[in-house]
Amino acid sequence: MSSIKTTLFSTLKKFAGIIIIVLVSFLFINAAYFQTESGYTYHYQNTLTGAIDVYTEPGVHFQVPFFSRVTPYKQVMTVAFGSTDGERVSRTRRSITVRFADTYTGEIPTTFRYKLPLNKEKIATIHREFRSFDNLLDALLTKTSRDVVVNTATQYTGEEFFQGGLNQFKAALTDQLRNGIYKTERKQVEIEQMGLAPVGLGQENSTQLQKAKTLVWKTVPVMAPDGKMVRLENPLDIYGIEVTQITLGGPVPEAQLERLLADKKRLVADRIKAVQEQETAKEQAKTAQLRAEIERTKAKQEALKLKELAVIAKQRDVEVAEKQADKEIIEYEKVKKLAEIQKSKELAMAQAERQIQEANFEAAQFEAKAIREKGVAEADVLKAKYEARIPDIYMAEIQRDIANIIYPNLRGIQVTMPHNIVNLGAQADKLQTNLDVLSSFATIGVMERLEKKALEGEQSVKAE
């Protein structure tokens, strides 16, 4: 073991010079260069010659080893007073406590965002006066931000600040940090406060906001003769530092101011409620009046409507009657014309019928004359025939002709002579009573039965 240590020691002793030279060379080379990053401005100073240079872009630069000083500055930095909401900031302080013109106090969370210049002379001036980035933040930016917020707050009363003045306050901060701090003086000024008009009957403007003037001591900007604000020298201008953004958080009033605001808020709410109740009552009365007016208007309109409908109905009846009369006249004229046409037609038909009858009469006369002449001719012929024939032969021919007509029609007809005859007698010798008639018929019945029995006896004899 001891031999190994001895060997190692002798080896290190042999190469100690080389190792030292290598280490010194590495340290020298490493110290001869430095690297710049984006978003930073680097102030380089050669302590041997006093030469100064500024680098604003990323890269690798040469420096004199062990005799150079490089100071980095963030090009954009954020100074926050109060909550940062998780944002990465360069410096954090508690919220700024301010005192307003009416002696009330409050805390205002504020965030400022600054941007360094890229001008090398401005950066050299900043480094010459502050020597480091932390001193720049604490000695200039933090103090200037706090001072502007505190001085600007004296230009407002606590009540007007917490009742809508926050945006105007922010605008004043931005204007002073960019264009110069206001030169101010303390004086008594007249301010206007917005409030509701007194509540009461017969006041139509009780729901409207009214301006009330009040005298109060405030710190106000000094105005030049030309009407512009007098400004002090901006401490940021000589260094070329710009304010890019100002953000205000939720301000917190002191307890007494908060109670005052809450009481006023409650009073305003009560006043608004009372006004609303009055307005509701007024509106309900107006509504009832309007409803009555509407009902009256509707009744008038309904009456006018009924009247107009009655007039229209009468006019319609007159028009219907006129149309009915016109229709009856037309129908009468039509019937009259049809009657005339019918009469004319009947007259024409009568005349035609007359002509036809006359023609028929003449034809009948002519036919009668022809028939007469024909009958006379046939009679003459028949007479001549009769005169030429023998009477007995002629009668025989006539009977023959009659027989030829009658006998064929009597074929199949049997003529049975009656068995009994009741002679009612002549006019002078007739049956005197009904009894005589009945006796005759009874006699006939007895004779028929006798004849029937006689026939049955003959048939039985034949059968034997």
Percentage of the chain lying above the pLDDT 70 cut:
76
Here the tokens at position 277 are 């109740």
Q: What is the mean pLDDT of residues 334-344?
A: 80
Residue 140 has pLDDT above 80, yes or no: yes
Q: Using alpha carbons, select from 253, 251, 258 the residue that is nearest to residue 169.
A: 251
Q: What is the mean pLDDT of residues 49-78?
A: 83
Over the range 218-233, which residues count as b (16 or more CB within 10 Å of their CB) and which as e?
bbbbeeeeeeebebee
Indicate the pTM of the whole model: 0.52
- What does the alpha-carbon distance between residue 464 and residue 462 come to, in Å, rounded to a whole number? 5
CA–CA distances in Å: residue 64 to residues 46, 49, 104: 7, 10, 58
- In this predicted structure, what is the pLDDT of residue 199? 47
- What does the alpha-carbon distance between residue 116 and residue 66 come to, in Å, rounded to a whole number? 28
- In this predicted structure, what is the pLDDT of residue 426? 57
- What does the alpha-carbon distance between residue 382 and residue 309 come to, in Å, rounded to a whole number? 101
- What does the alpha-carbon distance between residue 106 and residue 108 come to, in Å, rounded to a whole number? 7
Residue 144 has pLDDT above 80, yes or no: yes
Residue 362 has pLDDT above 50, yes or no: yes
In the chain, CATH 3.30.479.30 sits at 75-253
Here the tokens at position 40 are 């930073």
- What does the alpha-carbon distance between residue 222 and residue 233 come to, in Å, rounded to a whole number? 14
3-class SS string, the chain: CHHHHHHHHHHHHHHHHHHHHHHHHHHHHHHCEEEECCCEEEEEEECCCCCEEEECCCEEEECCCCCEEEEEEECEEEEEECCCCCCCCCEEECCEEEECCCCCEEEECEEEEEECCCCHHHHHHHHHHHCCHHHHHHHHHHHHHHHHHHHHHCCCCHHHHHCCCHHHHHHHHHHHHHHCCECEEEEEEEEEEEEECCCCCCCCCCCCEEEEEEEEEEEEECECCCCCECECCCCCHHHCCEEEEEEECCCEECHHHHHHHHHHHHHHHHHHHHHHHHHHHHHHHHHHHHHHHHHHHHHHHHHHHHHHHHHHHHHHHHHHHHHHHHHHHHHHHHHHHHHHHHHHHHHHHHHHHHHHHHHHHHHHHHHHHHHHHHHHHHHHHHHHHHHHCCHHHHHHHHHHHHHHHHHHHCCCCCCCCCCCCCCCCCCCCCCCCHHHHHHHHHHHHHHHHHHHHHHHHHHHHHHC
Q: ∠ CA(174), CA(177), CA(182), 5° rounding?
A: 95
- In this predicted structure, what is the pLDDT of residue 6? 67
Lowest-pLDDT range of 90-94, 149-153, 306-310, 394-398: 394-398
Q: What is the mean pLDDT of residues 222-236?
A: 87
Tens of pLDDT, residue by residue over 201-213, are 445 555 455 556 7
Higher pLDDT, 194 or 306: 306
- Confidence at 13, pLDDT banded by 50, 70, 90: low
Looking at domain 75-253, does it have CATH number 3.30.479.30? yes
Tell me which amino acid residue 293 is: E
Here the tokens at position 129 are 């006066």
Q: Do residues 103 and 159 make contact, with C-beta atoms less than 8 angstroms apart? A: no
Higher pLDDT, 159 or 12: 159
Here the tokens at position 216 are 């109060």
Q: ∠ CA(269), CA(275), CA(277), 5° rounding?
A: 105
Residue 187 contacts by C-beta under 8 Å, 6 or more apart in sequence?
217, 218, 220
Residues written for the chain: 464
Residue 15 has pLDDT above 70, yes or no: no
Tens of pLDDT, residue by residue over 421-459, are 666 655 555 555 666 666 777 777 777 777 777 777 777
Residue 255 has pLDDT above 90, yes or no: no
